[in-house]
Amino acid sequence: MAKELLIGALRGERVEQTPWLPHIGTHPAQLLGVSAERYLQDAELLARGAVLGAERYRCDGIPLVDDPQLEALSLGCVPHWSEQGPPSIVSSPLYTLPAEELDAHFPPLPDETTGRWPTVIAAGARAKSELERRDVALVGLAAGPCTIAYQLRGLALFTDLFRHPVSATRLFAYAGQVSAISARIYAEVIGCDVVAINDTPATMLRPNYFQQYVIPNLQPAWEIIHDAGRTSSFWA
């Protein structure tokens, strides 16, 4: 019933009771008494954290992992880990390159074997059945195109948008492919009930840039999520 309520509401329906879905961040690390750095890199802790958070806060759905840098780390970006939150990106393969050379240096596209994906997939396998038993939806949270483009390019991204629009267009298209791969892993490999694309940096863009660079590059992820019969959400 709880999961059904949440999915119905997320699809725009009026439901009998208002469901609740927390943007949980790295708070489960606090509940588990471990650092965010350890929590985010340990499948057992991620799974236990999701179940513990769902039980303690009696929510109708809960993210498996809430780390906007997950994709960037699978693309060769260098993290600075934190005790109390997700890591920060301190360098990337594309930071210092001239805009015209970006597309020749795009990292290989990730898959379920790269970066921390094996850890996340293992966590999902453990958490899914536990949450199903409690009628709680499992939520996959993928980084959006602007988040990934920003992590790869840094602040130069925002001048590339108007000084080098061809390079920026290619970078956003690449980033959209990465988002779609994450969506596929959450929807098809892990079997998340809901897959959300989190793209907070996109809110810094002017509306015309949002339309031009972000919206088209979200479509591959939505298509994968909907074809898998899952429910999509856009967080920003």
Partner 1 sequence: MASSGAQSIAIDECMALDCVGEVAQAHRVGFIGNLHVTSVLFEETEDVAGDVLRCMDEGKRFPGYVFGFGGPLTQHISVARLEEAIEVYRARRK
Which residues of this protein are in contact with partner 1, per CB under 8 A? 6, 9-14, 16-27, 29-31, 36, 56-58, 60, 66, 83-85, 196-197, 200, 203, 214-215, 218-219, 222, 226, 231-236
Spatial neighbors of 218 by CB under 8 A, at least 6 apart, are: 144, 145, 176, 179, 197, 199, 234
Q: For partner 1, which is the closer residue by CB, 18 or 113? A: 18
- The CB-of-96 to partner 1 minimum distance in angstroms stands at 30
HSE toward the beta carbon, residue 188, CA cutoff 13 A: 16
Q: For partner 1, which is the closer residue by CB, 158 or 235? A: 235
Q: How far is CA 56 from the centre of its chain?
A: 23
Q: For partner 1, which is the closer residue by CB, 11 or 105? A: 11
Q: For partner 1, which is the closer residue by CB, 61 or 115? A: 61
CA distances from 93 to 51, 73, 152 (A): 36, 11, 7
Q: Which residues of 90-123 are buried (b: 16+ CB within 10 A; e: fewer)?
A: eebbbbebebeebbeebbeebebebbbbebbbbb
Beta-ladder partners of 88: 80
Quick check: helix, strand or coil at residue 154? coil
- The CB-of-185 to partner 1 minimum distance in angstroms stands at 18
- The CB-of-77 to partner 1 minimum distance in angstroms stands at 19
Q: For partner 1, which is the closer residue by CB, 22 or 165? A: 22
CA distances from 71 to 53, 123, 148, 171 (A): 23, 16, 7, 15
- The CB-of-135 to partner 1 minimum distance in angstroms stands at 15
- The CB-of-25 to partner 1 minimum distance in angstroms stands at 4
HSE toward the beta carbon, residue 124, CA cutoff 13 A: 26
- The CB-of-141 to partner 1 minimum distance in angstroms stands at 9
Q: For partner 1, which is the closer residue by CB, 57 or 129? A: 57
